Amino acid sequence: MKEILLCKYGEVILKGLNKNRFESMMVKELEARIKKHGDFKVSRCQSTVYVEPQNDGADIDGALESARKVFGFVSIARACQVEKNMDDIISAIKEYIPQFIGNAKTFKADARRSDKRFPLTSPEIAAKAGEALLTVMPRLRVNVREPEITVMVEIRESQAYIHAGSFKGAGGLPTGSSGKCLSLLSGGIDSPVATYMMARRGAQIEALHFESFPYTSERAKEKVMRLAAEVNEYAGHMKVHVISLTHIQEELRRTCDEDYFTLLLRRFMMRLAQRVANERECLCLATGESLGQVASQTMQALVVTDDSVSIPVLRPCIGMDKEDIIKIAREIGTFDTSILPYEDCCTVFTPRHPKTMPVLSKVVAEEAKVDIKALEDEAFATLETIQL
């Protein structure tokens, strides 16, 4: 009996003449991810990618978990491949499916027949499949509305496939299909989610983190690297750039009105980010800002921030509330790391009364009190790059 993974597309199906390009990118990424799990043959047909173990040493469980994190696939099924005749299909159901039933008490059988030459209709195949499972597991009951397990028979071009339901895939668009993006990554909850959401839309991600040693600890930096690694489980191939803002923050505190401190710092961060983006050929910046969540994220404050750069700033979390963001953070595995008690640079020298409705001309006037270019050049010289 041969096991195989069926990786099924999402919106890539709608890409028309560009579909082949997207498919190729998905397959390339999938092959890179599952290579560590052994020798697999990867092929594609009928909007599905087939992952076939080539020997007993191939870890299909590991390949399944890796495949679930490849953007572009909406579902992954672990299936049994058999010849297209009902005798083999029924034998496979009796032998293969019981291991997936567990404590389930109800099931339904379903069938899809993409090869219309097959002599039985989909309802007839489903009926025979359900009958076959009941002969070996008579304790089960049929429930077509809310079954605990769905047994699926797929009749495809060359073979038949039997499985007990699919696992949810990562969805979205394949990595790199939408261009390159530099995401600002702090140690909080929001920015890892924003980074993930950009990657899910096909962006190839590079991340930028700002540190403020010794006001922030080495553990704060380690926390961010851990967050980056967690996002990288989906995004893949990320580089993380780190820049020190310590002297900029000290100069702003010494020279400028405290109420403008956060806005001035954000403008320095954005200009430095644009500089990194230009050097790394990134088309845009991405941040985890959500409208109105904190003082620096009011509409007026965001206008002041965006004025400092000339490339697009994308904010995938902009219309989400905190509970929405936390839900995604839990799903992708970054939440527990984000709430570790190590502060990032944005919490250093926080003003007591930050401006929530700033006027751009006044912010620019405050900014003119410091040597912007000298401070930026000094900060940019601290840039270090880490390949995950």
**What percent of the chain has a predicted confidence (pLDDT) above 70?**
98
**What percent of the chain has a predicted confidence (pLDDT) above 90?**
87
Q: For 145-197, how does the pLDDT look when each residue is reduced to its tens digit (9 = 90+)?
A: 999 999 999 999 889 999 998 999 999 999 999 999 999 999 899 999 999 99
Q: Cβ contacts of residue 45 below 8 Å, gap of 6+?
A: 156, 157
Mean pLDDT of the chain: 94
Q: Cβ contacts of residue 181 below 8 Å, gap of 6+?
A: 198, 203, 204, 205, 206, 282, 283, 284, 285, 286, 314
Give the mean pLDDT of 247-262: 94
**What does the pLDDT read at residue 372?**
97
Whether 72 shows a pLDDT value over 70: the answer reads yes
**What does the pLDDT read at residue 350?**
76
Q: For 73-100, how does the pLDDT look when each residue is reduced to its tens digit (9 = 90+)?
A: 999 999 999 999 999 999 999 999 999 9
| Structure token digits, residue 93 | 């159901």
Whether 348 shows a pLDDT value over 70: the answer reads no
Q: For 38-57, how does the pLDDT look when each residue is reduced to its tens digit (9 = 90+)?
A: 999 999 988 899 999 999 99
More confident residue, 342 or 376: 376
Query: What's the first-to-final CA gap in the chain, in angstroms?
Result: 38
Give the mean pLDDT of 329-342: 93
**What does the pLDDT read at residue 46?**
84
Q: Tell me the C-alpha to C-alpha distance, in Å, between residue 314 and each of 57, 165, 198, 256, 346.
A: 44, 36, 9, 29, 19
Whether 1 shows a pLDDT value over 80: the answer reads no
Q: Tell me the C-alpha to C-alpha distance, in Å, between residue 20 and each of 25, 104, 204.
A: 9, 40, 19
- Phi and psi, residue 338, nearest 5°: -60, -30
The residues facing 41 across adjacent strands are: 52
Whether 347 shows a pLDDT value over 80: the answer reads no
**What does the pLDDT read at residue 342?**
75
Query: Residue 382, class by beta-carbon neighbours within 10 Å (0-12 exposed, 13-18 middle, 19+ buried)?
Result: middle
Q: How many helices (H) and strands (E) does the chain have?
A: 13, 15
Give the mean pLDDT of 107-135: 95
d(C-alpha 209, C-alpha 302), whole Å: 19
**What does the pLDDT read at residue 153?**
97
Whether 388 shows a pLDDT value over 90: the answer reads no
Domains and CATH numbers, the chain: 2-168 (3.30.2130.30), 180-387 (3.40.50.620)
Identity of the amino acid at 352: R
| Band of pLDDT at residue 345, cut at 50, 70 and 90 | low
Q: For 258-288, how does the pLDDT look when each residue is reduced to its tens digit (9 = 90+)?
A: 999 999 999 999 999 999 999 999 999 999 9
d(C-alpha 22, C-alpha 176), whole Å: 10
| Structure token digits, residue 194 | 């924003």
Whether 292 shows a pLDDT value over 80: the answer reads yes
Q: Tell me the C-alpha to C-alpha distance, in Å, between residue 137 and each of 45, 66, 140, 151, 164.
A: 34, 32, 6, 13, 14
**What does the pLDDT read at residue 210?**
95
Report which secondary-structure segment, H or E, holds 51.
strand 48-53
Q: Tell me the C-alpha to C-alpha distance, in Å, between residue 217 and each of 222, 252, 342, 345.
A: 9, 21, 7, 10
Give the mean pLDDT of 321-346: 90
**What does the pLDDT read at residue 346?**
62
Torsion of CA 281, 249, 194, 64, to 10 degrees: 80
Sign of CA dihedral 274, 276, 279, 283: negative
The residues facing 242 across adjacent strands are: 209, 384
d(C-alpha 307, C-alpha 301), whole Å: 10
Give yes or no for a contact between 172 and 234, defined as CB atoms under 8 angstroms apart. Answer: no
